[in-house]
Chains A and B, each alone.
Chain A
Amino acid sequence: MSTIGSDRELRLAASALPPAGEIRMVELGRHRIGLFRVGDEVHALADRCPHRGAPLCSAGDVVTGIERRPDGRLELGPAGALVRCPWHKWDFDIASGECVVEPRLRVRRYPVRHDGDDVVVSLDGGLDRP
């Protein structure tokens, strides 16, 4: 992978992206960022759990939620849509950054755009203010 343009963006080739269910760590300036693929979408999250500061991406796990249907049967949520904090095991929705068990908490997300076959992660145009 290589940094193109300013030090505010990181361009990655498709081959550098993680497969679904895995996390790939990158650094952009002083930011440690975890890359995720959920379905066809690529997401970038800060490597810091908003609960107590744990290394959410570098030590966390991609998991699938288990939900109870109104009829009492159990079913799986969207595959690999959650990242589980390595310390206290709280789950966060990768796409929205929201904590599943504490809605007031959200992990910082970084904008991701597609440019041809590449993906560009940016520090600017933030989805969430730090």
Chain B
Amino acid sequence: MLIDCDIHVGYESLLDLVPYLDGPTREHVLHAGSNGLAMPSYPWYHPTGWIRKDAYDAAATASGRQIPGQTLPTLQRLLLDPFDVTYGILTPDEAAAFSIYPNAQLAARLATAYNDWLAERWLQEDARLRGLVVVAAQHPEAAADEIRRRASDDRFVGVFLPGGARAPYGNVIYDPIWRAAAEHGLPVVVHTHFDGVGLSSPVTAAGHPDTYAEYHVLCGSGMYGHFVSTVYSGVFERYPDARMVMSEGGVVPFLGYLWRLDTDWKACRSEIPHCRRLPSEYVWDHVRFTTQPLETPEDPSDLWPIIRHLRPERTLLFASDYPHWDFDEPTHTLRLLPAEIRDAVAYRNAGELFRLGAPVPL
């Protein structure tokens, strides 16, 4: 079995969501700009291409779009079938930008439309696919409503939040999201995306990087901010049933932050009384990490002695990041891990977290 916790799908254009929009929003989306509404995007372009070149064809980019939409047959041919994926959890491409779009009310309506699109165009079409509820994080009450709206549809197995944000996700303004997610047992997947775009701050306190190359090395920074924020602010103390996934932030940096969380807590805990326990205890109980992009030291055997301290037999979830350029091929990733934990990383940890049972046909 294999559960891939990060497979990106996206629409060709925001206009693809028009059939799923209410009348007033449809009217606005169709007539905005010179060619319909579009979302803010990165200030850098990937110098050699964001997407695996075999995951799209010339027709998909004929319109000039930078991020070509994906198709189910291609996903099946390149990933689901050859790697015998039992479940694939779908993460958004451009729709992740709804959370960093300034117009919060519009963003909430777009998120609802996207989830309807996802259910009809993807989740309904292949029994192996599962979705994350995309919400407008900058409108927490609407986001909570959207989570509750999807909670009874077991094809949605979690909530998606991008790394780019107005404030770290441990801030109390986000409590409605954590409350709704915890009520319904939906893990919140915080995924590197749109850090430094729209409402979000620059990807580091050093300011905006000059190049995509710099940005990509640093792009987990938003996630590290959310990681520290949620633990220290007491999210998991206030919502004991809440669980969080750090997706596409790599693995090694989290270990350093974990040790610093514990060390600094010992001196600073009077400032953060809601973090009642040693921070790492919350991490073991409430936080999981996806494997991609897995760090690649010069000597591959140097990896395990480091990441073993993150208790990967419990915390690590396989992710490919298909169809992006830094896609991690499943057999390679799992081969880097000791044999005794491969099943846990390949499917058991994700199966338990996302409550995925034995697959059933459509």
Contacts and interface: CB of A to CB of B under 8 A. Distances in A.
Q: Do A and B come from one complex?
A: yes
Interface of A: 52-55, 58-61, 84, 86-89
Interface string B47-74: 0110011100000000000000000000
B52 A86 contact: yes
Interface stretch (B110-118, B226-234, B244-252, B321-329): B321-329
A89 B48 contact: yes
B332 interface: yes
Contacts of B325: 87-89
Given A52-B329, A52-B332, A53-B329, A87 B52 contact: yes
B53 A61 contact: yes
Residue among B49, B52, B53 with the highest chain A CB neighbour number at 10 A: B53
Nearest to B49: A89
A53 B326 CA distance: 14
Contacts of B332: 52
A90 to B, nearest CB: 9
Interface in B167-214: none
A89 to B, nearest CB: 4
Interface residues of B, number: 10
Contact of B54 (A52, A84, A86): A86
A84 B48 CA distance: 9
Considering the complex of A and B, which 5 residue pairs feature the smallest CB-CB distances, nearest first? A86-B53, A59-B54, A89-B48, A86-B54, A52-B329
Nearest to A63: B48
A53 B325 CA distance: 14
A87 B53 CA distance: 6
A79 B165 CA distance: 43
A88 B327 CA distance: 7
A55 B78 CA distance: 11
A121 B137 CA distance: 58
27 contacts: A52-B329, A52-B332, A53-B329, A54-B52, A54-B54, A55-B54, A58-B54, A59-B52, A59-B53, A59-B54, A60-B53, A61-B53, A84-B48, A86-B52, A86-B53, A86-B54, A87-B52, A87-B53, A87-B54, A87-B325, A87-B327, A88-B325, A88-B326, A88-B327, A89-B48, A89-B49, A89-B325
Interface string B324-344: 011101001000000000000
Contacts of A55: 54
Nearest to A59: B54
Contacts of A89: 48-49, 325
Nearest to A55: B54
A52 B54 CA distance: 14
A87 B325 CA distance: 5
Contacts of A53: 329
